[in-house]
Amino acid sequence: MSLVRTEAFVLKAIRFGDTSVIYRLFTRDYGVVPVMARGVRRPKSRFGGIIEPFRRLQVTYYSRDNRDIQTLSGVELVTAYPAIVESLERMDAAGRWFRFLRAVLPDHAPAVAMFDLVPVALERLCRTPATRASRWETFHRLAAVAQLGVTPELAACVACGRPVAGSQAPSFSVVDGGVVCPQCRRDRTGCRSLSSAEYALLNLYHHPDYGLLEQLDDTANGDAKVRELVREFVRYHADLRSGAA
């Protein structure tokens, strides 16, 4: 048995018995780790009020190789993101994104790059207007699966490899994972046409700089359609477990 100390976010909480909770933690150093917090629902618990969703935590737990659930021994708050829980829309978006992370995270393997995305994403959500929370969530679904190597091809036709930027707006094939030029589109089914505005928007969802998407106003043309396209792409190409709509 060893005592482990690492940063973590709560992915899920399941009540256990009268006073305990099993937390599914996303830890920085060990990936997803379920821990038992004994007595956490007692009024005077030393964990109470600290271990909550959408908080960056420092946790210590006793780890045994032959156990599925480890035993939580301590928890400290690193960062709270109060602007998230002050808004229903932001909290809802964060909840959906965390369910999504739970569905894509590998079991028993560290995912450090994805972990490091979480505090960055939550800080951005705090300054995102409530009306754009869904845009925030879609952008960060794509950013999360990019850490697993799942990215759409937007610069060159997935069929012939010719560059598409600057030419006529291409189509997008969810199944093929990228854009299709007008010539190749003729003999493919299931391609979605994109206007130039929608193609530009799709590039913003894929761009490493979230600031570009943040500058767009609420009425950007085709935003709902592009969001749906991104979500379909992610659903199709990431290895999703159940629970991520």
Site of interaction with Zn ion (CB under 5 A): 157, 159-160, 181, 184
Question: 42 in helix, strand or coil?
Answer: coil
Q: Which long-range contacts (CB under 8 A, 24 or more apart) does 77-86 make?
A: 77/50, 78/7, 79/55, 79/119, 79/122, 80/55, 81/54, 81/55, 81/122, 81/123, 81/125, 81/126, 82/126, 83/125, 83/126, 83/127, 84/54, 84/122, 84/125, 84/126, 85/54
Q: Which is nearer to Zn ion, 88 or 160 (CB)?
A: 160
Shortest approach of Zn ion to residue 81 CB, angstroms? 44
- Separation CA 111–CA 33 (nearest Å): 12
Shortest approach of Zn ion to residue 165 CB, angstroms? 13
- Separation CA 43–CA 141 (nearest Å): 37
Q: Which is nearer to Zn ion, 159 or 226 (CB)?
A: 159
Shortest approach of Zn ion to residue 160 CB, angstroms? 3
Instruction: Extract the tokens encoding 210.
Output: 């979230």
Q: Which is nearer to Zn ion, 6 or 203 (CB)?
A: 203
Shortest approach of Zn ion to residue 30 CB, angstroms? 44
Q: Which is nearer to Zn ion, 181 or 226 (CB)?
A: 181
Q: Which is nearer to Zn ion, 75 or 184 (CB)?
A: 184
Shortest approach of Zn ion to residue 183 CB, angstroms? 5
